[in-house]
Structure 1
Amino acid sequence: MNIIRVSDRRTRKKFHDTARIIYRDDPVWVCPPDKDIESIFDPKINPYFKHGEVDRWILENADGTLIGRVAAFIDHNLAHSHDQPTGGMGFFECINDINAATILFDMAREWLTERGMEAMDGPVNFGETDKYWGLLVDGFTHPSFDVPYNHPYYKELFEAYGFRTYYRMEGFHMDITKPLSDRFRKIAKWVTAKPGYSFRHFSWKEEEQLTLDFAQVYNEAWASFKTQFEPLRPEYIREVLKKAKPIVDEEFIWLAYFEDRPIAIYLMFPDVNQIFRHLNGKMHLFNMIRFLWLKKRRTMTRAKGLLMGVIPAFQNLGIESALILHVWDVLKRKPHYTEVEFSWVADFNPRMRKIFVSVGSVPAKNYITFRYLFDRTKEFKRYPIPDIK
C-alpha cells in the first residue's frame, strides 16, 4: 500500500474520488459537492487557516486502486485548551481493512506529533462543529446535508486502532405529519403571549442586525455548557447564509426577544441532500440546471434543524416551545414538508436533549466523537457531562 500526500490537482481529484469508490454500492450515501469539501482545505475560503493548519493524504493499493483517505489538522485556538495538546483528524474513508486504516491513522498521528500534539479527536471537521463531526454508529438512513455518514464497520476500525469514546451524540427526528400535543401547544402559546416577549423570523433586509443578535445568543448559550468553546463570529453566520441563499427560507430562521434583548435562536434549512443525491457531487452547468428543476419540483420534503439555543437566564421557561410552535405553523403552510431532522445533540448538553424530546422528536441516529491519546499509558478522560436535573 502507498500513502500519498494531496498536493496538486490530480491528487485533489483522487481525494474526492476515494469516497465515490468506497460508497459506490451504498444506495443511502449522498456524495457532497466536491467544491464544498474542497473549500474546507482552501486557505482563501476557510477562516480556520488564520489560526490553524491542515494536511491530507490518499491511500492506494499495489495496483493503484484508491482504498482510503484521511486529513489531519490543528486549531491553535483550541489545541492547548485540553489536558494535553490535541489536534484533529477527519474526512476518513477506508475499505474494510485494519491494515489500511492503521496506515491512515498512523499518518495523521505522525503529522500531529511532529507539530507538538499529544492526542487527536476524530472524525471531526477543520471548522465549525455543525459539519462532518463524529462517526455514525447507529441509524444508517438518509444523511442530511453536512451530517456524517459512513459504513458501519468504521467503528471497528477506530476502536481496533485504540480510539476511545470522548463523547456521544444523538440526531433527532420529528414527523410533522403528526400533531403537536395539546400540552406542548398550550405551553408554547402561553409563553408567546407573555408581556415583553416577541418572536421574529429572519429577513434579508435586516441581515446585519439579525446575524449580530444570532451570534450574541449563540455565544452566551453555548459558553454556558461547553468547555473549549470558540465564539461564533457574525461574519461566519453571514457567510453560511450567503452560501445557502438559493435554498434559504426566511421563515425557517427565528429569534426570540425579551424587551428587545435577543434571548433565543432557531436555525433550519431545507435538506438540500435530497437534491444532491441526484448530482454525484458535481455542480457543472447541467447539474445546476437540474438543481433548479428539482428544487422547483419540491424535491426537498425534509428540513434540517441545525441548532436551537436559549441564553441561561431564560432557560426552562418554555422559550424553546414557543420557537418550535412558530416553526411548526410555518411548516403547516408548506405541506410538502413531512419531516424535520435535527442536528446532533451531545451527551454533555442534556438540557437540549430534554427540549428535543419535549417537542415530540425521537432519537434516530447515534454518533461518537473519539479521542486517541498518543501516550498509551496516560489516563483517558472523557468529555465531562454536567450534573443537571
Structure 2
Amino acid sequence: MKIIKADTREQFKRFVRFPWKVYSKNSPWVPPLISDAEGILSENKNPFWLHAKKQLFLAYDDNNNVIGRIAAIIDYNYITFQYDKCGFFGFFECYDDTEAAGSLLSATENWLKEQSIDRMIGPMNPSINDECGFLSEGFDIPPSLMMVYTPQYYLRLVEQYGLKKVKELYAYDMDISEASRVGRLERVIAAAKKKLPTLKIRTMQESSFEEDLKVVKSIYNRAWEKNWGFVPWSDEEFAALASKLKILIIPQMVIIAEVAGSPVGMLISVPDYNYVLKKINGRLFLFGVFKFLYYRRKIDSLRLMIMGVIKEYRHKGIEAVMYEKGLKNALKIGYKHCELSWVLEDNIMTQCSAEMMKGRIYKKYAIYGNKVFSNQDFSSQKQCDFKNKNKES
C-alpha cells in the first residue's frame, strides 16, 4: 500500500471517479454529476480556490488499484475570519481498511504541518458552505441535495486514527401535507405582525433575480456571522453558486422578509434533485438529459437549505411568518416532504422552530478533529504574514 500525491490529469480522474467503487448500485448514495465533481476541485472553475489551496492524495494497493482518497485543504478566508489556524481534510472516501485510512489522514496531517497549520477538522468538501461531515445516523435513507452520504465504518476509521467528534449537525424531516402545521403558527404570526406593522413577506421575482440574489448574499453573511465555522461568501463564490442554483430554484420557494422596506430575513428551499441524480449515475449526456427532464417532474420533496434572520430582528416571530409562506407555497405546488438541514447541535432556536413545525431529527452528521499539531502564538501580524507567505507559495 502506498500514498501518492494526485497531481497528474489521470490521477485527478481517478480521484473524482473513485466513489463509484466504494458504493454499490443498491446503496442510498447518490452519484454527483461527474462534471460538477470535477468543477468543485478545479482551480479554474471554482472561485473558492482563489482564497484556498489543496493537495489531493490517493492510496494504492500492491496491484496499483486505488483503495482510498483524501484532500488536504487550507482556506485562508476561514483562518482570517475565524482567527483559527486550522486546516481541513475533505473528499474522504476509502474501503474498510484501517491502514489505508490512517495513511491518508496522516499524509493530510503532514502536508498541513508543512504549511504551518496547527490542527485539522473535517470532512469539509471543500468548506462549511459546501457538503460537510460524515453521516452518523440515518444510513438507510438517501441524502438530500448537497448533503453527504457516507458508510458507517468511516466513523470507526477516523476514530481509530485518533480524531474526535467536534460538532454534530442535524437534519429534520417534515411532512408538508399536514395542514395542522400552519395552524400552529398562527398565534406567533399574529404577534409578529403586531410588533412589526411594516413587516412584509415576498417571494423572489424572476424580473429582479440578480438584485434579489444580492439581497440573499447580504442576509446570509450577516445572519450567520457568529455561527460555528462560518465563512462569508466572497462575491465570486456567490456568483458561481447563483449560476449553479439558477436553474434549480423555484422563485415561489425563495422567501424574503422586509421591515420598512429593508431585507432582514430569508428562507430558501430547493427541489430535492437527488431523486433525479440517482437515476442518471453522474452523466448528463443525451439519455441523461432525457432522464433528467422526465424524473424532474416526479420530485415531491424539498430541502430547506437556508433560513436566517439578521441579529436585530431575531426572536420577533419573523421565522414563523416565513415558514408559513413557504409551507403554503409548497402545498400549492404539490410538494409532500421537506428536509430542513443542516442545523447545528447547539442552535436551539432553529431546533425549536423545526419541532414547532412537527419536524423530527432523522439524520445526523459528525465533524471530526481536535488533533492539535502546535500551539503557537497567532498574533494579527503573524496572521497576515502567514497568509501572504502561503499564498505566494
Q: Normalised by the size of structure 2, how large is the TM-score?
A: 0.89
CA distance in 2, matches of 1:171, 1:228: 18
Query: Which residue of 2 is the match for residue 324 of structure 1?
Result: 323
Aligned residues: 373
Query: Which residue of 2 is the match for residue 247 of structure 1?
Result: 248
> Residue 64 of structure 1: CA displacement?
2.4
CA distance in 2, matches of 1:81, 1:65: 40
CA distance in 1, matches of 2:318, 2:53: 39
> Residue 189 of structure 1: CA displacement?
5.1
**Structure 1 counterpart of 2:62, one-letter code:** A
CA distance in 1, matches of 2:7, 2:149: 26
Say if 1:28 and 1:142, in contact at 8 Å, map to a contact too. yes
Query: Which residue of 2 is the match for residue 36 of structure 1?
Result: 36
Taking the TM superposition and a 5 Å limit, the aligned residue runs for 1:1-389 are 1-24=1-24, 26-79=26-79, 85-127=85-127, 129-140=128-139, 141-181=141-181, 182-188=183-189, 191=192, 195-223=197-225, 225-226=226-227, 229-233=230-234, 236-295=237-296, 298-335=297-334, 337-375=335-373
Identity of aligned residues (%): 26
CA distance in 2, matches of 1:62, 1:78: 38
- Describe the shift of the 1:101–1:376 C-alpha distance in structure 2 as closer, same or farther (beyond 3 A): farther
> Residue 130 of structure 1: CA displacement?
3.8
> Residue 197 of structure 1: CA displacement?
0.8
CA distance in 1, matches of 2:279, 2:23: 15
SS in structure 2 opposite 1:211?
helix
CA distance in 1, matches of 2:118, 2:238: 32
**Structure 2 counterpart of 1:123, one-letter code:** P
> Residue 263 of structure 1: CA displacement?
0.8
Unaligned 5+ residue runs, structure 2? 377-393
**Structure 2 counterpart of 1:303, one-letter code:** L
- Describe the shift of the 1:20–1:43 C-alpha distance in structure 2 as closer, same or farther (beyond 3 A): same
List per-residue Cα deviations over 1:68-102 (Å, max 9, x = no partner): 11111101122366676210011101111111101
Q: Report which stretch shifted further, 258-267 or 198-207.
A: 198-207
- Describe the shift of the 1:34–1:138 C-alpha distance in structure 2 as closer, same or farther (beyond 3 A): same
CA distance in 2, matches of 1:328, 1:82: 35
CA distance in 1, matches of 2:171, 2:122: 18
Q: Report which stretch shifted further, 13-22 or 83-92.
A: 83-92
SS in structure 1 opposite 2:298?
coil
SS in structure 2 opposite 1:169?
strand
- More helix by proportion, 1 or 2? 2
Say if 2:102 and 2:158, in contact at 8 Å, map to a contact too. no
List per-residue Cα deviations over 1:100-150 (Å, max 9, x = no partner): 1011101111111111112111111224x2422111100121101210110
Query: Which residue of 2 is the match for residue 381 of structure 1?
Result: none
Say if 1:257 and 1:264, in contact at 8 Å, map to a contact too. yes
CA distance in 1, matches of 2:337, 2:241: 23
- Describe the shift of the 1:234–1:53 C-alpha distance in structure 2 as closer, same or farther (beyond 3 A): closer
Q: Report which stretch shifted further, 349-358 or 32-41.
A: 349-358
**Structure 2 counterpart of 1:212, one-letter code:** K
CA distance in 1, matches of 2:279, 2:228: 39
Say if 1:241 and 1:248, in contact at 8 Å, map to a contact too. no
> Residue 232 of structure 1: CA displacement?
2.6
Q: Normalised by the size of structure 1, how large is the TM-score?
A: 0.90
CA distance in 2, matches of 1:376, 1:96: 30
SS in structure 1 opposite 2:366?
strand
List per-residue Cα deviations over 1:159-214 (Å, max 9, x = no partner): 11111122111111111122233332342355357520111111231123212222
Moved over 3 A (4+): 80-84, 189-194, 233-238, 374-378
* Coordinate RMSD, CA, aligned: 2.1
